[in-house]
Structures are given as structure tokens and as C-alpha cells.
Structure 1
Amino acid sequence: MQSRSTPSTRAGGRPRSTEADTAILEATRQALVDLGWTKLTLGDVATRAGVAKTTLYRRWAGKSELVVDAVAELFDELELPDSGSLATDIEGVVLQFAALLGRPETKTALMAVVAESTTDEPLRERIRASIVDRQKRLVLAGRARAQDRGELPAEPDTAAAARTADLIFDVIAGAVVHRALVSAEPVDAEWAEQFTSLVLGGLAAVSGRGPAAVPSAPDTAP
């Protein structure tokens, strides 16, 4: 699979080798597993991939950009289940996403490049374009299916639809990343089901309490 964030031809017009790209990105992921972020170098990746260092330098400006593209390929493998139910579709994506975050190369890479991006705006934009924006396809596909099944209403206009998609993605991705990588708690089937209920039905659906169970303000009238 060729990385979408790197062009298929160089400035001189000579086609890039997709085989070299594939070998480099695979070597990067393996180096992350074997060496970790700190010890990984472009020279080591070139050796593992069987290419010259100049081949890497023509494609990627530095280690951070290379690692983002290597991990982006893994995220592109995420698939939206077509279970016939929005709830089970969401649960399926959540469990896939958590399994991906549990892989050592993904965990190491994400924690490192996000930290690096706090002081590197171009890197932050690369993460957004290569991973975040590309994975919003899952939200768009899932919402469209749910609307076709009558589970969700259609948005009034394109702008509203885009805002909703962004919010859905932020809620789901943010919660799973926080639980899996920050809190280091398991994302299992039970958690995915409870989280999906929260997303779809609100807090009352998870806690089992309706609006009437919310305590009312005390009566202060004399």
C-alpha cells in the first residue's frame, strides 16, 4: 500500500518505486517494535529495507514524518463492520481501534509523534491529514448506513453534517485513545458496549436512570 501523504513521482518526473515504499514502511514498523522510538534511525530503517539512505531522504524529511506514514498505513486497514445495527457497528470499530492501539509499533509511534507535534506545526498537520482526516471515512460510512436504516436523522445541510462527523470522531477516537494509551485500561467487549450505549443514548442509558432520577434543586421558598 502506498502512503497517500507522499507523491508517487519525484520532482524530475521519474516514478517512485512502490516496492521500495512498502519495504521502507514495513521496516519502520519493525524497527519501532525492536528498537523503540528513541533508538530508531533512518539509517537503521534503510538497512532493514535494503535501500540506500538517500532513498529515504528523498521521500521523508525526518524520522517523525516517516513514522507517521508507517502508522497511517495501519489505520487505513480499519474497516467498518456492516452488522445491520449502528450500535454493533460502533462496537466493532471500537474493538478494532483498540486492538490497533495495543500493537507495540502503534503505541510507541503515536505517543512519540504526538509529543513531538506539540512544538512542530507541520508534523501536527501531517498527523491530521494522514491519520485523523482519513479515518473520518469510518464515521461518514457508518452514519450514512444508519440514516439509510432509519436509525439516525439526516442533517439539515452539508455544514451541519461535517460538524457532526467531526464531533462523533473526536468523541470515539478520544475516548478509546485515552483509555488504551493514557489510562492503560482494557478496551474489551463489555467496555465497548457500555461506551456505545453512552454515545447513542446518553448517560441515562448507561446508568439505567431516566431524567426523573436526576435530583431536583432544593425548594428554598419560605
Structure 2
Amino acid sequence: MCTTTSSGRKGRPRSAEADAAILEATRVALVELGWSKLTLGDVAARAGVAKTTLYRRWAGKNELVVDAVAVLFDELTLPDLGSLAADVEGVVLQFAALLERPETRTALMAVVAESTRDEALRVRIRASIVDRQKRLVLLGRERAQARGELPAEASTSAAAETADLIFDVVAGAVVHRSLVSAEPVDAAWARRFTALLLGGLSAASQG
């Protein structure tokens, strides 16, 4: 049975082991070589696969690197810590720890920089990373609503807009502090940020 590749083409059944090796090799090569020197040939050699194997799965370097980053972000989880505040603080610290890893930092900054010149790459980043990680926002909100900490939204469209805004606020704040300001995202910062997110400026100033 044939499977559809990430570029939309059909080919041989994919090997999970080969995919994992290729994505790991991509992250290692990106840290060692940087975006400009990374080539699919180098990745194939590191992963121990034929170069044609990569081209059957990915149309080019942009798509490959985005998928290599997306796998790392899929490691994020949202354990039920008993309250909305604890859940938010927990995922913020997880996210920050992920951004401290050289392979995550290098790959994310590389694809974001390239995406400023490539609309197709921006679309792929949204689909492969942003939209997939909104699952954490949806899960956290469902738990908070079940606990009575948050009201239900008035409509499906309002719920979607709220999820988008929450994701943008959390992801934007953590990425900016970690990668732009190069400041630590520790437990104290996560607590202050969560107070601001949940209670507004007055609550944050009292914390």
C-alpha cells in the first residue's frame, strides 16, 4: 500500500525508523553546519540512507527542517496539575526547556528567518508546528471549564479565536524572552507571567 509523502506525492511505504534517523540527522547537521551549509546530501549521509530517500519524502531543505523541528514540539505535554494556573506554568516551563536545546533553538530561528521570504514555508510552519501545538491550549481550556475555572465560549468561532489568542500570547512571550531577550524562563517568571495572563495587569502587579 502506498502512502502520501509530505510533499503530496505518492511513493513507497514510509519507514518510521528511516524518518526518525533523517530528522535527527537534520537537527544535528543544522547545529553543526548552520542553515546555509546544510544540504540534503549531508543529511542522507549522516542518516545512512540514499539521497533519493529524502527526495521521496521532502521536496527540499525547507520542508525537511520544519518537520525536524515539529517533531521536537510534539514532545510537549500538558499534565493535569489540578488548576489552570499550574497547568499554564507547567507548559511554559516545558516550552522554555525545549527552546534551551541547541537543536530546537537553531532550527526554529533558521526556519523563521527563511519564512520571511517564503510564503509556502510560513504555511508549512503554521500547519506543522503552530496548529498542532494549539492542542495544548484546547486541552487546558477544556480542563479549566470542567473545573469551573473558565466559562464556556458563546460560539465555536469565539472559542477558536480565543484559542488562537492564548497560543499567540504564550508562545510569543516565551520565545521572545528565551531567544530574543536571552533571559531565563524560570519558575518565578512563569508564575508572574501566568498571573498576568489569567488575572490581568492588576493581578500581576500584586504578585
Give your verdict on TM over 0.5: yes
Letter in 2 for 1:25: L
Partner of 1:121: 119
Please give the TM-score of this superposition, normalised by the length of structure 1. 0.87
Of 71, 94, 100 in structure 1, the residue corresponding to residue 98 of structure 2 is 100
Partner of 2:14: 16
Partner of 1:167: 165
Offset of residue 5 of structure 1: 7.9
Give 1:27-176 correspondences, 5 Å limit.
Answer: 27-176=25-174
Offset of residue 18 of structure 1: 2.0
Partner of 1:203: 201
Identity %: 80
Partner of 1:184: 182
Partner of 1:6: 6
- For residues 181 and 67 of structure 2, what CA distance do their matches in structure 1 show? 26
**CA contact under 8 A between 1:147 and 1:154: conserved in structure 2?**
yes
Cα RMSD, aligned residues only? 1.7
Letter in 2 for 1:194: R
- For residues 152 and 60 of structure 2, what CA distance do their matches in structure 1 show? 43
Partner of 1:214: none
Q: What do the CA deviations read for 1:36-59 (whole angstroms, capped 9, x no partner)? A: 323221111100100111111121
**What secondary structure does 1:16 align onto?**
coil
Q: What runs of 5+ residues in structure 2 fail to find an aligned partner?
A: none
- For residues 114 and 10 of structure 1, what CA distance do their matches in structure 2 show? 25
**What secondary structure does 2:56 align onto?**
helix
Larger radius of gyration: 1
**CA contact under 8 A between 1:5 and 1:130: conserved in structure 2?**
no
**CA contact under 8 A between 2:89 and 2:191: conserved in structure 1?**
yes
Offset of residue 10 of structure 1: 5.3
Residue correspondences, number: 204
Moved segments of 4+, more than 3 Å: none
**What secondary structure does 1:33 align onto?**
helix
Q: What do the CA deviations read for 1:91-121 (whole angstroms, capped 9, x no partner)? A: 0000000111111111111111111111111
Q: 1:5 to 1:98 in 2, by over 3 A?
A: farther
Letter in 1 for 2:161: R
Q: What runs of 5+ residues in structure 1 fail to find an aligned partner?
A: 210-222
- For residues 206 and 9 of structure 2, what CA distance do their matches in structure 1 show? 59
